[in-house]
Structure 1
Amino acid sequence: MSHFIADDGAKIHVKISGEGSPLVMLHGWTSSHQEWFPFLGELQKQHQVFRWDARGHGGHALGDAAAPTAERMARDLANLLDHYQLDRVSAVGHSMGALTLWQYIRDFGTERLSRLCFIDQSPKLMTDETWSHGIYGDFDETKAGEMMGWLHEDFAEAVLKLTAFGLNERAREKYLAGASGWEKSRQALRAQAPAPLIDCWASLTAADYRDVLARIDVPSMLVYGGQSNFYSLETARYVASRIPDALLHIYDGTDHSPHQWQRERFARELLAFLNP
């Protein structure tokens, strides 16, 4: 695994494979570069693929470096492009990765970007009386505060409950039944250092990128789960209506990770979008 040093001294780990035009893939909260492994076989045939572990993720000690806020991760992305001397970059962001890209565009613009893919994310996670396209449609300040308390009490279980007790009924049933997949996720979450991930969550839930969407002037593809744990189809349509000429795909029957449930379709549609 390669790495580069961010401008605050943090070591950011990156897996690099394949040949061709650069493709940067940004994983979701509490995940790692391994999220993208199932798609490498196809993607690296046409692209040099960069898969990082965002700071505070992937089991890498953060040390004294800055917390993984949205702003810091966007700067890390700029540092990555500088370090590897990348331009005309295509990028894919799932969940937190999408927020990182939106923050990057706010701070640095789209000059070095070529094509973008955003997977199952809202530009504003918290809801209020004027905004219902965030988490669950009703994740207001009170619920956000409760979630923060749960994260401090039992980080792993809080993350699982956030996923289980949302809009996807099947996820709730599997969690309550103690399905093996949930236990595997529980153990993986317990192996991670919670403090930087909690700081990260606080930053993500405080963010609002609705103003950024209209500024995206490069081709964009959106992929949303038809039964996302967190977002309704109205959220997907809102994002699609705000990003100029965005291409929207709804993966029926899939949750917050639609690309994992329909892997062949995602790889096929992503490559067709990246290489028209």
Structure 2
Amino acid sequence: MPYFTTSDGTEIYYTEQGEGQPVLFSHGWPLSSDAWQVELKVFADAGFRAIAHDRRGHGRSSRTYTGNDMSTYATDLAELVDHLDLHDLVVVGHSTGGGEVVRYAAQHGAGRVVKVATAGAVPPIMLQSATNPEGTSIEDLDNIRAGVLKDASQFWKDLSSPFYGANRPGAQVSQGARDDFWRQGMLVGLAAAYDCVKAFSETDQTEDLKSLDVPIFIAQGDDDQIVPIAAAAEKSIKLVKDGTLKVYPGAPHGIYGAYQNELDQDILDFIRR
């Protein structure tokens, strides 16, 4: 399995398929590159070099106690891109991964990144405040941390329901998809899972979005129960210079089923424009 070692000694796992223009996928919390298995094949079949990595502390990468913050995630990504010597690069991020690719593109991507796409991404900032009343309360975020610390296995099982909208009438998500969410969640190190809550919720990426000088496609389901759309996509589109927003009616946070099929095609169309 391919690994590379970052400047601070962290081993990062990555996988790739296909040839052509590189498209790099960054996963959400608490998942791994396995969350992008469908996209790796779909985009490789479409003529792209599809790449995905396991964020530090997640999946098959080192179970780090330190560096579980958005800036370090972006630095790790920059070092991976340098390691693979990627150019004409498109970066795609879901949820926490959306924050990672936005920070990477804004602070490290000059001369390499040509387009950015996000889905259910956490920027500009998820935490509720007087200036961000649409966000998630610190009490709810503390409950996430407490759930992870108390019984992570059960927490991942429970979280898979709102993640995929399985708690909605007529939901089509399979038990297998929910089980795979649990499986990937069980691979994350506890320290990384706990610290990443602060990273994805309290990192203010307003300036990252403002400084992006490449086109960005911002996607989010309007039934996202994890990242509030009013604090995320609807605010992000107002901050970027060259953005396209698409809201998917009824779609949840998790990328699955009809939403996944439509989103993948929309990202391919966005890249080809």
Tell me the TM-score normalized by structure 1.
0.85
Question: Aligned pairs, how many?
Answer: 268
**Cα offset for 1:24?**
0.6
Give the aligned partner of residue 218 of structure 2: 222
**Cα offset for 1:115?**
0.6
- Structure 2 alignment gaps of length 5 or more: none
Are 2:56 and 2:73, in contact at CA under 8 Å, matched by a contact in 1? yes
SS at match of 1:83: helix
**Cα offset for 1:162?**
5.1
Are 1:229 and 1:255, in contact at CA under 8 Å, matched by a contact in 2? yes
State how far apart, in whole Å, the 2-side matches of 1:187 and 1:40 are.
19
Give the aligned partner of residue 79 of structure 2: 79
CA RMSD of aligned residues (A): 2.8
Tell me the TM-score normalized by structure 2.
0.86
State how far apart, in whole Å, the 2-side matches of 1:196 and 1:10 are.
13
Say if 1:131 and 1:114 are closer, same or farther in 2 by CA, change over 3 A.
same
Give the aligned partner of residue 236 of structure 2: 239
State how far apart, in whole Å, the 1-side matches of 2:249 and 2:178 are.
22
- Structure 1 alignment gaps of length 5 or more: none
Give the aligned partner of residue 130 of structure 1: 131
Give the aligned partner of residue 52 of structure 2: 51
Say if 1:97 and 1:119 are closer, same or farther in 2 by CA, change over 3 A.
same
**Cα offset for 1:193?**
2.9
Range with greater deviation from structure 2 (184-193 or 194-203): 184-193
**Cα offset for 1:141?**
2.5
Spell out structure 1 runs of 4+ moving beyond 6 A.
172-175
Say if 1:21 and 1:236 are closer, same or farther in 2 by CA, change over 3 A.
same
Range with greater deviation from structure 2 (265-274 or 188-197): 188-197
**In the alignment, is residue 271 of structure 1 matched against residue 271 of structure 2?**
no
Counterparts of 1:138-157 in structure 2, within 5 Å, are 139-157=136-154
Are 1:92 and 1:116, in contact at CA under 8 Å, matched by a contact in 2? yes
**In the alignment, is residue 204 of structure 1 matched against residue 200 of structure 2?**
yes
Say if 1:159 and 1:208 are closer, same or farther in 2 by CA, change over 3 A.
farther
Give the aligned partner of residue 190 of structure 2: 194
Task: Give 1:130's aligned amino acid.
Answer: T
Are 1:214 and 1:243, in contact at CA under 8 Å, matched by a contact in 2? yes
Give the aligned partner of residue 32 of structure 1: 32
**Cα offset for 1:30?**
1.3
Task: Give 1:112's aligned amino acid.
Answer: R
Are 2:107 and 2:208, in contact at CA under 8 Å, matched by a contact in 1? no
SS at match of 2:250: coil
**Cα offset for 1:206?**
2.4
Task: Give 1:228's aligned amino acid.
Answer: D
Are 1:163 and 1:230, in contact at CA under 8 Å, matched by a contact in 2? no
